Structure 1
Amino acid sequence: MKKIIILLLAFANFSAFAQKPLFDYPFGFQAYTFRNHFPKGTEQTLDLIQKMGFTELEGGPQKGQTAAEFKKMCDDRGISIPSTGCSFEELEKNPQAVADQAKALGSKYVMCAWIPHNGNNFDLADTKKAVEVFNKAGKVLAENGLIFCYHDHGYEFRTHEDGTYMDYLIKNTDPKYVSFEMDVLWTIHGGGAASPEQLLKKYGNRWKLMHVKDLKKGVVGDKSGHEPAENDVVLGTGQADWKKILKLAKKAGIEHYFIEDESEKELINIPLSLAYLRSL
């Protein structure tokens, strides 16, 4: 009887482990998702976000607000701000100001989502400039207890030597000062130079954050960094293999996942995407 009880307990523990959801981190959102709502009222938008079940935000103060004011509004609703954004120009000109705002928001990460370049002509010179700026600014942020991340946008996957400009960026930036945020849609849209799964395996813990975003089936990426809003679709209905991606992301050590929906149907798409993640 004792052996049977032990076996039953072991089976119960195994079953509980087997049924543990794949996506078990706090749900975060990228503020750009609600770009049409925030101008109508920050508090009412945060109320809507809270009701959806979000507890983490990637973003910053809205127009006319200080970082402290925005943080208090989020705090009052149980929403933390682990990551905030900045422009390339801000990083280049005044990284200390970027650090000061991030700390005022209570953020740990600062991300930049665009490297300036001429039209669709992203090239080696643009990449080298980014390496220089990211290493210098990343050092300042690190000295302030922050982690800098560059968010890929598709155009970095153009071929360079035996790899891509994204490979060049990752290999030539200092891991002490520069990390990365994977935007799954833009990685797929990069034109097949490397899948999200391949990049997570190749660069492991250089990835710190993730934009959970899906690209419509049938869309072929063109390395432009641009695509129509209607190509953002409900998670699980597009091209991304989320089970594989999330398993590899967890293995790489990514802790913050921000759902971003650039469509004009975010109030329809987001609840469906959340339901999909919870089903994994």
Structure 2
Amino acid sequence: MESMTRQWTRGLRGLIAAALVTFGLVVVGAVSASASPPDRHGRGIPTSKISVQLWTFAEYIGFGTDAATVARTEEVLGSLREMGYRNVEPFTLSGLTAKQYRALLDEHRLKASARHVDVGTPENPADIGQILRDNRTLGITFFGSGSTPIFPPVYTTEAEWIAYAEYLDELGAVARKHGQTLMVHNHDIEFETVFGDRTVFDILMAYTEPKNVVFQLDLYWATNGGGIDEPIDVIERYGNRIKLFHVKDMAAGAFPGRIEIVGEGIIDFPSIFRAAGGSTRYYVVEHDPRFGDPTFDPFEAAQVGFDYLDRVRF
């Protein structure tokens, strides 16, 4: 019943929105430049390149492996397809085998654009063979941990970070031989932690080969860690080594603001996308859950994020 009520509510919201568009009723608010209706001129993003990180739904789906968790996963996948998504980025298989999860994706006519999965560390290496086998079953090319070892911070020296980067490069070389690509996803710490004149992000770039490792730049965390212009600075420095974006916005107010629904914050996404040129493979909507906050609706965050990317021009 709760699921039916949610679907009915979202359907009603959609009908109201459609009516407003039909009759030309436009509500103008005091919002940031990035939240303004995107310029209709310039290049857009094909639907085939829009994805969503399912961490957005982490609190709703839960972390179990029981039938109820799987049912909520399936509900989310069905809703995302209705919103317009053709791709998703899983962070867990909710206890399902890769074959079972792939069947769910196929049922809802979705593809896995990438996957967050723990790839380990030099001290605790992952079973890369199993990861690659699962990726092949899932149809995934890009994969990598959802973060570097920073929860809590594991490494405190430059040498440790270099060793970690070299470990990633070795994994990436193995993945490349199997037709897959290892990616690194950042938070703010990689930009805030500095050794001499190099950040941790610089070290990860320097000690991995472009052919072995690419990067998924989280635009909120890059902004949080370096300032509002930081994403563009990073893109200009490292060019097409950045193959994927996590498109996550920042609320207005005292910097840094909390994570905001895409298009309703202060990050200038069109300028960032323009700077990246044509090297971006996937633009992935994400909004970290606000655990314990009943006012946060991950379905709304996903829908608004898709609609923004679907119409943005740069």
What band does the TM-score fall into relative to the shorter chain?
0.7 to 0.9
Contact 2:119 2:128 survives alignment (8 Å): no
Find the counterpart in structure 2 of residue 213 from structure 1: 248
TM-superposed CA distance for 1:267, in Å, is: 2.1
Correspondences of 1:18-97 after superposition (within 5 Å): 19=41, 21-26=43-48, 27-38=50-61, 39=69, 40-59=71-90, 62-89=93-120, 92-97=125-130
Contact 1:179 1:206 survives alignment (8 Å): yes
Cα distance in structure 1, aligned partners of 2:170 and 2:240: 21
Find the counterpart in structure 1 of residue 131 from structure 2: 98
User: Which amino acid letter does the alignment assign opposite residue 240 of structure 1?
Assistant: I
User: What is the TM-score when the length of structure 2 is the normalising length?
Assistant: 0.74
TM-superposed CA distance for 1:111, in Å, is: 1.9
- Inter-CA distance 196–252: structure 2 relative to 1 (3 Å threshold): farther
Runs of at least 5 residues in structure 2 that lack an aligned partner in the other structure: 1-39, 62-68, 290-295
Contact 1:153 1:183 survives alignment (8 Å): yes
Runs of at least 5 residues in structure 1 that lack an aligned partner in the other structure: 1-17, 222-229
Confirm or deny that 1:269 pairs with 2:301: yes
Confirm or deny that 1:199 pairs with 2:262: no
Cα distance in structure 1, aligned partners of 2:138 and 2:227: 36
User: What is the TM-score when the length of structure 1 is the normalising length?
Assistant: 0.82
Correspondences of 1:6-21 after superposition (within 5 Å): 19=41, 21=43
> Cα deviation per residue 1:85-137 (whole Å; 9 max; x = unaligned)?
21142782321111111111000111222222474575324412321220111
TM-superposed CA distance for 1:184, in Å, is: 0.5
Confirm or deny that 1:144 pairs with 2:178: yes
Mean Cα displacement is larger for which, 116-125 or 25-34? 116-125
Aligned with 2:281 (options 240, 248, 255): 255
> Cα deviation per residue 1:33-68 (whole Å; 9 max; x = unaligned)?
122333252222211111111100111653221111
SS in 2 for 1:100: helix
Q: Percent identity?
A: 24
Find the counterpart in structure 2 of residue 13 from structure 1: none
Contact 2:92 2:117 survives alignment (8 Å): no
Cα distance in structure 2, aligned partners of 1:235 and 1:193: 15
Contact 2:119 2:144 survives alignment (8 Å): no
User: Which amino acid letter does the alignment assign opposite residue 273 of structure 1?
Assistant: G
Question: How many pairs are equivalent?
Answer: 254
> Cα deviation per residue 1:157-196 (whole Å; 9 max; x = unaligned)?
1222223111111012111211110010111111339611
SS in 2 for 1:180: strand
User: Which amino acid letter does the alignment assign opposite residue 104 of structure 2?
Assistant: M
- Inter-CA distance 25–202: structure 2 relative to 1 (3 Å threshold): farther
Cα distance in structure 1, aligned partners of 2:126 and 2:305: 38
Greater RCO, 1 or 2 (C-alpha within 8 Å, sep 6+):
2
Aligned with 1:154 (options 184, 188, 193): 188
Find the counterpart in structure 1 of residue 28 from structure 2: none
- Inter-CA distance 193–275: structure 2 relative to 1 (3 Å threshold): closer
